[in-house]
Amino acid sequence: MGKQLRVDPVACAGHGACAELLPELVTLDEWGYAIVADQPVPRGLVREARRAVAGCPALALALRRVA
Amino acid sequence: MTGSLTVPNPPVTAAPPGRGGDLPRLLPASGAAPVGLRQHLDAYGALPTARSPGRLLREVAAAGLTGRGGAGFPTARKLAAAAEARPAPLVVGNGAEGEPASSKDSSLLWISPHLVLDGLQLAAEVIGSPAAVLYVRRNQRLHAGLAGAIAERAAAGIGAARVDLVQAPDRFLAGEESAVVSRLTGRPALPAYRPVRGLPRLAPGRAALVQNVETLAHLALIARYGAAWFRNAGTAAEPGTMLVTLRLADGRTSVAEVPLGTGIAGLLGLEPAAGHLAGASVPSAAGPVQAVLAGGYHGAWLPAAEAAHLLMAGAALRPLGASAGAGVLAALPADRCGLAETARVARYLALESAGQCGPCFNGLPRIAAALEHLAGPRPDHRARADLKRWAGQVTGRGACHHPDGSVRFIRSALRVFAGEAGLHEQGRCCGTDPRPFLPVPAARPASDADWS
């Protein structure tokens, strides 16, 4: 049981805050839209992940429980 | 396409005989005239009431019916989920058929409306819904015919659920499940981001059961004749029949009902010779064929020589990126440029992006432009590298499957028409007939209003 970052592609407007706050798990495509790593958030990055979720101006990022 | 269009587009041809000898099931054995209520009742008998919803559910599960709209999801599982939901979900018959290369759903709705309406009623009964919606592609004659059929049934007291007829906008994605639901709540028919699986929701606490209209017609027959009868046609793993839209190499189109697992060669009249070269075109009754498009504009191109040995079934087509899905098969004649054909459709697909997700509305137009460049003489080699990179960047990154499906189709073209791409690098092209082959609607809508 872990947590994974999910981006709502409709809400994502390419602000790029997530990639600045959490470069370990988020990169941007060449148009500036977030690409989140398809892996559970490592324990050591959960705090940063929460910060990235809170820092998204479009509220497009979420932490979801994965089995 | 406009409302003045005649229905159905293609003449309906008799299906080839299949196992079980009871074909066609959904369409009359001959002719394309609508089957009226009296004729329908004479042919199939009265609508059986779902006395025990559990029994019908078990019968559908035993029949192995899967969705005929493209995704192929097991119908019984979706029905069972809907039967458990409270309040009862709204039942929606999906006849949006946004795929320009498909006309099987509108043909079915035009010719056998009462089978679809039977299935809609049965689904509503199984899940306990007092209302149902028939969501159908924009077409005046078709809508008039369906409105008449619905009124005739209501007057005759057939079916408990009230049926509303709703017009689907003329867009490729209008039939996408979340777009259907959006349209039914009075918003534009745009796909939505749905992080949680399950039935789509019209409102908090109110789900919808969206089933393709052909799926509903099969349901109506399973309720009457049972699972064993249904399995008389098709394969053990993929039972039953399916409607296919066939586009032969000479441009003639037809809709036919065939058992799952029917050979593609027979459907398109392909005549592969022994020892045929893999890349060569294959003779057919309608002229030489170089490639076959299976599954429509989210499907995949297959070399004709390969397609000629394949069966119309998911087991055969899925590993190749194609699908039996919504039943589109098109035979590209040898005198057309496969790259130019794909580029034209890719541009259409880019314009049909709902424009909601960054990767899709940025990526698809660039991909289409790169493909148009590759379809021209002596393309810059960077176009291919750009296209490949962009294709990777849009895949899996939309709220719906539009970017994934579009990329699947375009990538298959780069594989199957690799030889053609080589010719273009030398400034040559095998296409001698510049006329477009695959259908793409002429005038594209340009405003948000076109989504509703």
CB contacts of A4 in chain B (<8 Å) are none
The CATH number given to whatever domain includes residue B152 is 3.40.50.11540
Assigned domain for B452 exists? no
The answer to whether residue B113 scores a pLDDT higher than 90 is yes
The answer to whether residue B109 scores a pLDDT higher than 80 is yes
Whether A6 sits inside 8 A of B195 (CB atoms) is yes
pLDDT reported for residue B9:
45
C-beta of residue B416 within 8 angstroms of C-beta of residue B301: yes
- Which are the contacts of B229, defined by CB distance < 8 A and separation ≥ 6? B20, B22, B221, B222
| Mean pLDDT lowest among A36-50, B31-45, B273-287 | B273-287
Whether B356 sits inside 8 A of A35 (CB atoms) is no
Chain A nearest CA to B178, separation (Å): 13
Assigned domain for B311 exists? yes
Percent of chain B with pLDDT over 90: 80
Assigned domain for B236 exists? no
Task: Please state, in angstroms and rounded to a whole number, the distance separating the CA atoms of residues B132 and B160.
Answer: 10
Task: Please state, in angstroms and rounded to a whole number, the distance separating the CA atoms of residues A24 and A29.
Answer: 15
CB contacts of A29 in chain B (<8 Å) are 358-359, 362, 393, 397
Q: Coil, helix or strand for B438?
A: coil
Q: Give the nearest chain B residue to A64 (CA atoms).
A: B195
Q: Coil, helix or strand for A9?
A: coil
| Domain A2-66 listed as CATH 3.30.70.20 | yes
pLDDT reported for residue B399:
95
Peptide bond into B403 cis (omega under 30): no
Mutate to test the interface with A, among B173, B190, B357 (most CBs of A within 10 A): B357
Q: Residue type at B420?
A: E
pLDDT reported for residue B11:
41
pLDDT in tens, B405-433: 999 999 999 999 999 999 999 999 999 99
* Partner-chain residue, chosen from A10, A31, A64, that has the shortest CB–CB distance to B399: A10
Assigned domain for B400 exists? yes
Residue with the bigger pLDDT between B16 and B335: it is B335
Q: Coil, helix or strand for B87?
A: coil
Instruction: Please tell me whether residues B253 and B390 are part of one structural domain.
Output: no
Whether B359 sits inside 8 A of A13 (CB atoms) is no
Q: Give the nearest chain A residue to B394 (CA atoms).
A: A29
CB contacts of B363 in chain A (<8 Å) are 31
The answer to whether residue B20 scores a pLDDT higher than 90 is no
The answer to whether residue B353 scores a pLDDT higher than 60 is yes
pLDDT reported for residue B276:
62
ipTM of the complex: 0.94
Mean pLDDT computed over B170-185 = 95
Chain B nearest CA to A45, separation (Å): 22
pLDDT in tens, B71-107: 889 999 999 999 999 999 999 999 999 999 999 999 9
Reference B323, options B123, B66, B78, B37; nearest CA is: B66
Q: Hey, which residues does B66 pair with through a beta bridge?
A: B74
Task: Please state, in angstroms and rounded to a whole number, the distance separating the CA atoms of residues B331 and B277.
Answer: 18
C-beta of residue B110 within 8 angstroms of C-beta of residue B116: no
Percent of chain B with pLDDT over 70: 91
- DSSP designation for B191: -
The answer to whether residue B261 scores a pLDDT higher than 50 is yes
Reference B325, options B336, B337, B316; nearest CA is: B316
Instruction: Please tell me whether residues B160 and B103 are part of one structural domain.
Output: yes
DSSP B112-180: -HHHHHHHHHHHHHHHT-SEEEEEEES-HHHHHHHHHHHHHHHHHT--SSEEEEEEEPSSTTTTSHHHH
Q: Say what angle helices B338-351 and B402-416 make with each other, to 10 degrees.
A: 170
Reference B142, options B178, B170, B101, B171; nearest CA is: B170
The count of CB pairs under 8 A between chains A and B is: 43
Whether B356 sits inside 8 A of A31 (CB atoms) is no
In A, what residues contact B, Cβ < 8 A? 6, 8-14, 29-33, 35, 62, 64
Instruction: Please tell me whether residues B297 and B370 are part of one structural domain.
Output: no
pLDDT in tens, B188-231: 999 999 888 889 999 888 999 999 999 999 999 999 999 999 99
List the structure tokens of B305: 């020589």
Mean pLDDT computed over A39-61 = 96
Instruction: Please tell me whether residues B322 and B382 are part of one structural domain.
Output: no
The answer to whether residue A5 scores a pLDDT higher than 80 is yes
pLDDT reported for residue B51:
66
Task: Please state, in angstroms and rounded to a whole number, the distance separating the CA atoms of residues B243 and B27.
Answer: 9
Instruction: Please tell me whether residues B163 and B307 are part of one structural domain.
Output: no
List the structure tokens of B90: 């709204």
Whether B358 sits inside 8 A of A8 (CB atoms) is no
Assigned domain for B53 exists? yes
Whether A11 sits inside 8 A of B192 (CB atoms) is no
Let me know the angle formed at the C-alpha of B307 by B302 and B313, rounded to the nearest 5 degrees.
100
Mean pLDDT computed over B49-59 = 84
Whether A8 sits inside 8 A of B363 (CB atoms) is no
The answer to whether residue B444 scores a pLDDT higher than 90 is no
Instruction: Please tell me whether residues B46 and B188 are part of one structural domain.
Output: yes
Assigned domain for B178 exists? yes
* Partner-chain residue, chosen from B393, B398, B399, that has the shortest CB–CB distance to A29: B393
Assigned domain for B70 exists? yes
pLDDT reported for residue B449:
62
Q: Residue type at B248?
A: L
Instruction: Please tell me whether residues B305 and B173 are part of one structural domain.
Output: no
Mean of the per-residue pLDDT values for chain B?
90
Whether B193 sits inside 8 A of A32 (CB atoms) is no
Q: How many domains does chain B fold into? A: 3
Q: Coil, helix or strand for B325?
A: coil
Residue where the block lists tokens 């369409």 = B27
Task: Please state, in angstroms and rounded to a whole number, the distance separating the CA atoms of residues A59 and A28.
Answer: 17
List the structure tokens of B288: 């030489």
Assigned domain for B8 exists? no
* Partner-chain residue, chosen from B356, B362, B363, that has the shortest CB–CB distance to A10: B356
| pTM attached to this predicted model | 0.93
Instruction: Please tell me whether residues B182 and B314 are part of one structural domain.
Output: no
List the structure tokens of B330: 């098109």
DSSP B196-261: S-SS-EEETTEEEEEEEHHHHHHHHHHHHHHHHHHTTSB-SSSBSEEEEEEE-TTS-EEEEEEETT
pLDDT reported for residue B203:
86
Q: Hey, which residues does A65 pair with through a beta bridge?
A: A3
Residue with the bigger pLDDT between B400 and B8: it is B400
| Domain limits for position B311 | 242-268+280-333
pLDDT in tens, B289-330: 999 999 999 999 999 999 999 999 998 998 888 888 789 999
Chain B nearest CA to A27, separation (Å): 11
Whether A29 sits inside 8 A of B192 (CB atoms) is no
